[in-house]
Chain A
Amino acid sequence: MVRTTILGAGLLLLGSVSLVSAPLASETSDTNSGIDPQADRQALRDFYTQRFPDVPLEEHKNGVYAFDEGAREQWLEMEDFPPYEIAVDDGAELYETPFADGKGYPDCFGDGAVKGRYPHYDEVRSEVVTLEMAINDCRADHGEAPLAYDGAEITRLTAYMAYVSRGQIIDVALPEGEGPLAAYEAGKRFYSTRRGQLNFACSSCHVQLAGNRLRAERLSASLGQVTHWPVYRFKWQDVGSLHLRFNECNSQVGAEPFPPQSEEYRNLEYFLSYMSNGLALNGPASRK
Chain B
Amino acid sequence: MRTALPALLLIALAACTKSEVPADPAEQARAAVAEAEAHYQASWEAGHAWRATKALIDDARAALELGDYETAASSADRATAMAEASLAQAEAESTAWRDRFPFSS
Complex partner residue of B102 from A44, A193, A255, CB under 8 angstroms: A44
Q: Are B104 and A256 in contact (CB under 8 A)?
A: no
Complex interface: chain B residues within 8 A of A208 (CB): 103
In the bound assembly, the distance between CA atoms of A128 and B64 in angstroms comes to: 43
Q: Are B99 and A194 in contact (CB under 8 A)?
A: no
Q: Are A192 and B100 in contact (CB under 8 A)?
A: yes
Complex interface: chain A residues within 8 A of B50 (CB): 196-197, 254-256
In the bound assembly, the distance between CA atoms of A188 and B101 in angstroms comes to: 8
Interface size for chain B: under 10, 10 to 19, 20 to 34, or 35 or more residues?
A: 20 to 34
Q: Is A137 an interface residue (CB 8 A)?
A: no
Q: Are B89 and A203 in contact (CB under 8 A)?
A: no
Q: Are A203 and B51 in contact (CB under 8 A)?
A: no
CB closest chain-B residue, reference A36: B102
Segment of B16-24, B31-39, B41-49 in the binding face: B41-49
Per-residue CB contact flags for chain A residues 17-39 toward chain B (1 = under 8 Å, else 0) read 01111000000000000000001
Count of A residues near B, CB < 8 Å?
31
Known contacts A251-B51, A254-B50: A193-B103 contact under CB 8 Å? no
The A interface, classified by DSSP as helix, strand, loop or mixed, is helix
- Residues of B68-105 contacting chain A, CB below 8 A: 82, 85-86, 89, 93, 96-105
CB closest chain-A residue, reference B43: A256
CB closest chain-B residue, reference A19: B104
Complex partner residue of B103 from A47, A194, A254, A256, CB under 8 angstroms: A47
Q: Is B13 an interface residue (CB 8 A)?
A: no
Complex partner residue of A18 from B44, B48, B82, B103, CB under 8 angstroms: B103
A117: min CB distance to chain B, Å: 26
B3: min CB distance to chain A, Å: 15
Complex interface: chain A residues within 8 A of B48 (CB): 195, 255
Q: Are B51 and A193 in contact (CB under 8 A)?
A: no
Complex partner residue of B93 from A39, A43, A50, A193, CB under 8 angstroms: A193
Query: Which one of A199, A256, A264 has the highest number of Cβ atoms from chain B below 10 Å of its Cβ?
Result: A256
Q: Are B89 and A199 in contact (CB under 8 A)?
A: yes
Known contacts A203-B100, A256-B50: A47-B93 contact under CB 8 Å? no
Complex interface: chain A residues within 8 A of B102 (CB): 20-21, 39-40, 43-44, 47
Query: Which one of A188, A199, A255 has the highest number of Cβ atoms from chain B below 10 Å of its Cβ?
Result: A255
Q: Is A118 an interface residue (CB 8 A)?
A: no
